[in-house]
Amino acid sequence: MDFISLDLNKHLSKYIESIIHFKGFNPDHSIERVVPTGHVFLIFELDGFERYTYNNKSLKPTGVFTDVWVSGNHKNYLSISAHQNSEMLVVQLKPKGFYPITHVPSSTLNDKVIPAQELFGTEILNLRTTILNQKTSTEKFEVIEEWLMNRIALDDVPNSELTNILDLLKTKPLTNHADIISSYSKTQKHLIDQFKKYFGLTPKVFHRIFRFNEILKEIHTKNNIRWSQITYQFGYTDQSHFIKEFKEFSGFNPQEFIVSDFHKEQPNFFPLDRKS
């Protein structure tokens, strides 16, 4: 499989986490689970395949997506299709990047996957055609990079106080949550409203998602995992609280997660029907 990531320029890296192009992907499964990370994804299909979202319980299809689509911020896990010999270009937006690029409140896409033309009109379909016609990853990156640079409206960038609080939520333990929120110069309601507008989710949900993703990093590839230590290390009140939140974000209890070897997979994508 060809898997290439763009080395983002200094300006674009403020708003974009990553841009990747992959081709010839042949997974050993057809459905995978995606856990929330706090990012929004703009996804260009370059292989002609339809993609599906599924009901998390029954795994029956709930949506069909072609060409280009956007996956907003999700508070819970999402079940999606995986395809043989697939090719896509994926833009992972940082929380602060959604509003300056789309110019619509980020919360409007919470827990949704929508066709990208609902946000960008036919412009995004024309962009996909241009990307599709480029022969190399480098050429495809040049097209999407120029488009994103032209979309960014500096007047729509969240102020530094908001982004500083978001950074604190990402780097400080959840036990510091009340202190972080109280450091905001205006009311808590105003902070929540601003978070919904610029970032999508509330400060508390972001903090919990960030903590969960740190746990996934902590246990990634480890053979000896002590859940009691993880519970204490990440500030849960007790082990039942930890198990409940782990299952809320992943759909698995911690022991199921390890038995299935998901801690050895990519930190955010887990196969549900892997071929034996």
What does residue 110 show for φ and ψ, rounded to 5 degrees?
Answer: -55, 130
Position 276 scores a pLDDT of 58
d(CA 224, CA 219): 9
Position 221 scores a pLDDT of 79
d(CA 132, CA 48): 11
- Matching residue, tokens 């205006």: 186
pLDDT tens figures, 9-60: 999 999 999 999 999 989 999 999 999 999 999 999 999 999 999 999 999 9
**CA-based torsion, 207, 212, 215, 220: positive or negative:** negative
Q: Residue 247 above 70 pLDDT?
A: yes
Using DSSP's 3-state secondary structure scheme, residue 225 falls into coil
Q: Residue 248 above 80 pLDDT?
A: yes
Cβ within 8 Å of residue 126, ≥6 positions away: none
pLDDT tens figures, 69-92: 999 999 999 999 999 999 999 999
Percentage of the chain modeled with pLDDT above 70: 100
Q: Residue 190 above 90 pLDDT?
A: yes
d(CA 35, CA 262): 12
- Matching residue, tokens 């841009």: 19
Give the max Cα distance, the chain: 55
Position 201 scores a pLDDT of 98
C-beta separation of 14 from 99 below 8 A? no
Position 118 scores a pLDDT of 97
Position 264 scores a pLDDT of 83
d(CA 223, CA 135): 42
Position 95 scores a pLDDT of 96
Q: What are 204's two structure tokens?
A: 């508390």
Provide the mean pLDDT of the chain. Answer: 95
Q: Residue 119 above 80 pLDDT?
A: yes
d(CA 263, CA 84): 23
Query: Going from the N-terminus, what domains does the chain have, and what CATH number goes with each?
Result: 2-155 (2.60.120.10), 160-271 (1.10.10.60)
275 pLDDT tier (thresholds 50, 70, 90) = confident
pTM listed for this prediction: 0.94
